[in-house]
Amino acid sequence: MSESMPSPFVRIPEHVQPETFCVGSLDMIPKLLVERFGKPFPGDGNRVSGEFIFADGNGTTFYIYDWKMTGEYNPALSPDEFWDLDDVVLLQIGGCSRDRTSLHRFLSWLDGVLTDGLQADQDWLGSLSAQSCSAEDQERLLQLLESGGSKTRIVALEAIRRIGQPIATPRLLKQLLSLLHLPQPIRPMALRVLSAFASLAHTSWLQSSVMEQLDSESVSTRCNGISALGDLGPGIWSDAVSARFAELLVEEPTVRHALLSMSWVSHRAPPPPTAEIVSHIALQLSNPDAEIRRHAARAVPALGKGAAVLDVLTTLFRMLGEANRSTRVSAEVSFERLGQIVAIPGFLSHLCQSVQSRDFPVQASALRVARRLAKTTGESEAGRHLARLITSARSHTE
């Protein structure tokens, strides 16, 4: 009589803890295990945050668990956060026997189960169309977008982009916005889908979703909303969104991110130069923190013609004399990018009355910009007077 084939493994529904020891390890995405088998059993709360138990019909048992990934070994990562990771980590395999044949059979079974599940989801997503996407299909699609692995999410985003208008809902837009904190290739794909929906007259939904993020108690969620603003087109900047962004420019947890978002190279839709936004940029140009002053200086060109305000330009000019080289460079680059915008009648004369020689312990940057301003405005006499004022300061080598 031929020997029967070993029965497949199944997850044990009860948390049993026989005497086991480590028999191997594997590279695995924790979230993938949770998606396929549900949440792990709790570990000891320190060295082990969770574990899965599998056995075949013959009682051959294996455990998959993390080791010193959370708890006192990594206080920054909670057990829930660890098992929601979408990155490959090293997990341990425990067992009651060192039989390598059984271990290899278990790993082969596990790989087949996980791969088949992923492929089935991706095949289903690839088959969706505007004509065949029912309410139940939309719900499943949202679940995969929320909890799927990277590859599944990419396929889900492609399906959403392909189907388009029929599945656009406020809930979907919120879910898409939540993906913008993820790295490539998910973030750019989510942005393309959101941009497509923005052009389909769903701007009010997007504004509402972004406002929820900007008002969130979570700093990371607020920053995620800030990052999304410049990529969703000029229509995203409603009066309420603009006013909230102005507040974030002076809130300590978000001021750096808000200023940086205005100077990113990829920024396509800068905030409108409202009186509040302009005044808060001017305020940050005088911030005691040199890093924030630099970020504010780099943000000024994004204001466009709104930067043509004496309070902004005068403070920016003073920064040209700071001892910190990075700050001087940021200010000078901003003047270059503003170009003709700074050609305000009487601006040089105003500078001659508003700045003092002690503002320029370092002089070269201020002199270069003063000469360019004199040429741009045609105020040569005021330009010479400003240059004399700058050079009357104590000599300082750059």
Percent pLDDT > 70 in the chain is 92
* Cβ neighbours around 308 below 10 Å, total: 18
Query: How much is the average pLDDT of 292-321?
Result: 93
pTM for this entry: 0.64
Q: What is the pLDDT of residues 375-397, one digit of tens each?
A: 988 888 999 999 999 998 654 44
User: What type of residue is 272?
Assistant: P
Q: What is the pLDDT averaged over residues 126-140?
A: 85
Token pair for 24:
């191997």
Residue 61 reports pLDDT greater than 80: yes
pLDDT of residue 202: 65
pLDDT band of 200, cuts 50, 70, 90: low
pLDDT of residue 243: 96
Residue 394: its pLDDT value, please? Answer: 56
**What would the 3-class secondary structure string for 116-142 be?**
HHHHHHHHHHHHCCCCCCCHHHHHHHH
pLDDT higher than 70, residue 102: yes
Give the pLDDT confidence score for residue 396 in this predicted structure. Answer: 45
Residue 67 has pLDDT above 90, yes or no: yes
Per the CB < 8 A criterion, the answer to whether 52 and 41 are in contact is yes
Confidence of residue 180 (pLDDT cuts 50, 70, 90): confident
pLDDT at residue 64, rounded to an integer? 95
Mean pLDDT over residues 206-214, rounded?
A: 87
Alpha-carbon distance of 30 to 27, in angstroms, equals 9
> Do 210 and 163 form a contact (C-beta atoms < 8 A)?
no
- How much is the average pLDDT of 97-118? 83
CA distance 315 to 307: 12
Which range, of 70-74, 262-266, 349-353, averages the lowest pLDDT? 262-266
For residue 208, the model assigns a pLDDT of: 86
Per-residue CA distances from 218 to 89, 183, 215 (Å): 27, 19, 9
Extract the tokens encoding 347: 């601006």
Task: Tell me the per-residue pLDDT of 262-301, one tens digit each, with 9 for 90 and over.
Answer: 987 555 678 999 999 999 999 999 999 999 999 999 999 9
Amino acid residing at 293: R
pLDDT tens, position by position, 110-125:
887 777 667 778 888 8
Tokens 């492929």 belong to residue: 119
Indicate the average pLDDT of the chain: 86
- Whether residue 398 has pLDDT greater than 80: no
Give the per-residue pLDDT at 48: 93
Q: How far apart are CA 337 and CA 351, in angstroms?
A: 19
- Give residue 265's pLDDT: 52
